[in-house]
Amino acid sequence: METETIQCLLKPKEYGSDQEVKWCPGCGDYAVLNAVKKTLSELNIPKEKATFISGIGCSSRFPYYMDCYGFHTIHGRAAGVATGTKIANPDLSVWMVSGDGDSLAIGGNHFIHAVRRNVDINLLLFNNEIYGLTKGQYSPTSEKGKVTKSSPHGTVEEPFNPGELALGSNSRFFARVPDTDVKMMVEVFKQAEQHKGFSVVEILQNCVIFNDKIHATLTAKETKADNQLFLKHGEPMLFGAENTKGIRLNGLELEVVTIGENGITEADILVHDAENENKTLQYMLTQMKLLEFPVAMGVIRNVKATTYDEALHNQRKHEMENSKFNSLDDLFLSGNTFKVK
């Protein structure tokens, strides 16, 4: 575990704005807001450097509640705006705040391209598997058969798994956290911020009004030890109340085993390698579903790669240093010109 001897210049609450927070009482968003404030405080990110850019949806109100720079944009398009902001000023700590509808339905195209490009942005992807702001229609992450206002007979479509989609788009950083665990959120958000590139953090968020307890089996006190696998790089994939259950690779499949049963020892348990370039195992981890498996939490993939903004600025710098022109005047007067006297 990390040793917490952080000198915080600003307290978490000092990152909050004076605006009244208008999420429904009991909404999971509150915990995320607190975790983000704590993250900025612990990383000592100056308020003016943190820039929150959101799309449309309940979670996208987030920027208003931070006393930082913020831009509440339009539905699905936060990735584009955030990309422009980061390119224009790479010194900023850019956070994109979005939901399952915003990023995976209307903004799906932008999501996969932002991931592919690896712009240095942290995406907080609030996944409550429902449209909250428009009052309860199914989303692209709603489970098949889900009954909602727009699907009274149950949906007939397969959902996206954000982890699969991210890794399929060559995500260099993917993590998953429950909104019920502020400590885990802070730990993961910090890693997301420190990772250079597009960091996707899927937050399993509870919408108390339209999709209450959708993640409850996962997050309830009594069941969470058995149903969540909190992954840490370099540590064995152990879980359960006694920490005796683990994940083993059997042939090409993952399986749950218990230490001490059938001759299983800790040596049989997979050790998490978030930094492995090869994403095969990480991909399998994103796919683990209840009830056969625990759901993988924490940082599933975290690999280093050149970021888009870095590459763009390096190229630009190279051009600036090696140009035959010193100014636009040189360009305007170059090549085929002719004089009239």
Where does this chain bind ligand SF4 (CB under 6 A)?
23-24, 27, 29, 58, 128, 132, 207-210
Q: How far is CA 236 from CA 138, 271, 298, in A?
A: 36, 4, 13
Burial of 87 (0-12, 13-18, 19+ CB in 10 A): middle
- Cβ closest to other proteins, residue 30 vs residue 64: 64
Query: What does 81 interact with, of ligand SF4, other proteins, none (CB < 5 to 8 A by kind)?
Result: other proteins
Distances (CA, A) of 258 to 111, 134, 310: 38, 45, 45
What whole-number distance in Å separates Cα of residue 25 and Cα of residue 138? 22
Q: How many CB atoms lie within 10 A of CB 275?
A: 13
128 contact choice in ligand SF4, other proteins, none (CB below 5 to 8 Å, kind-dependent): ligand SF4
Q: Which does 278 bind (CB under 5 to 8 A by kind): other proteins, ligand SF4, none?
A: none
With respect to ligand SF4, which residue has the nearer C-beta, 127 or 302?
127
Quick one: what does residue 207 bind among other proteins, ligand SF4, none, with the CB cut-off 5 to 8 Å set by partner type? ligand SF4
325 vs 341: CA distance, rounded Å: 26
Determine phi and psi for 281, rounding to 5 degrees: -70, -40
For residue 29, the partner it binds in ligand SF4, other proteins, none, with Cβ less than 5 to 8 A by kind, is ligand SF4
The entry of ligand SF4, other proteins, none near residue 154 (CB within 5 to 8 angstroms by kind) is none
**113 is a contact residue toward other proteins (CB under 8 A):** yes
Report the residue number, 27 or 303, with the smaller CB distance to ligand SF4: 27
312 exposed, middle or buried (CB, 10 Å; 0-12, 13-18, 19+)?
middle
- Nearer to ligand SF4 by Cβ, of 99 and 294: the residue is 99
Distance between start and end Cα atoms, the chain:
78
Angle in degrees, 0-180, between the axes of helices 78-88 and 308-322, rounded to the nearest 10: 40
Choose among other proteins, ligand SF4, none what residue 91 binds, the Cβ cut-off being 5 to 8 Å by kind. other proteins
What minimum distance in Å lies between the beta carbon of 165 and ligand SF4?
Answer: 21
Q: Residues near 336 by Cβ (< 8 Å), separated by ≥ 6?
A: none
Phi, then psi, of 200 in degrees rounded to 5: -100, 120
User: Of 118 and 139, which CB lies nearer to ligand SF4 in the complex structure?
Assistant: 139
CB distance 211 to 340 below 8 Å:
no
Nearest distance in Å: CB 145, ligand SF4:
21
Three-state DSSP at 153 gives coil
Contact region with other proteins (CB under 8 A), list: 23-31, 128-136, 220-228, 323-331 = 323-331
Q: Site size for other proteins, by CB under 8 A? A: 58
Smallest distance, other proteins to C-beta of residue 105, A: 14
d(CA 288, CA 109): 25
Residue 195 CB, nearest distance to other proteins (Å)?
Answer: 21
Site for other proteins in 22-81 (CB under 8 A): 46-49, 51, 53, 56, 63-64, 66-74, 77, 79-81
Q: Which of the listed partners (ligand SF4, other proteins, none) does 27 bind, with a CB threshold of 5 to 8 Å by partner kind? A: ligand SF4
Whole-angstrom CA distances from 211 to 49, 98, 136, 226 are 35, 17, 8, 23
Spatial distance between the Cα atoms of 160 and 20, rounded to a whole number of angstroms: 33
Which residue ranges make up the site for other proteins (CB under 8 A)?
Answer: 17, 19, 46-49, 51, 53, 56, 63-64, 66-74, 77, 79-89, 91-92, 109-110, 113, 312, 315-316, 319-320, 322-323, 325, 327-329, 331-333, 335-341
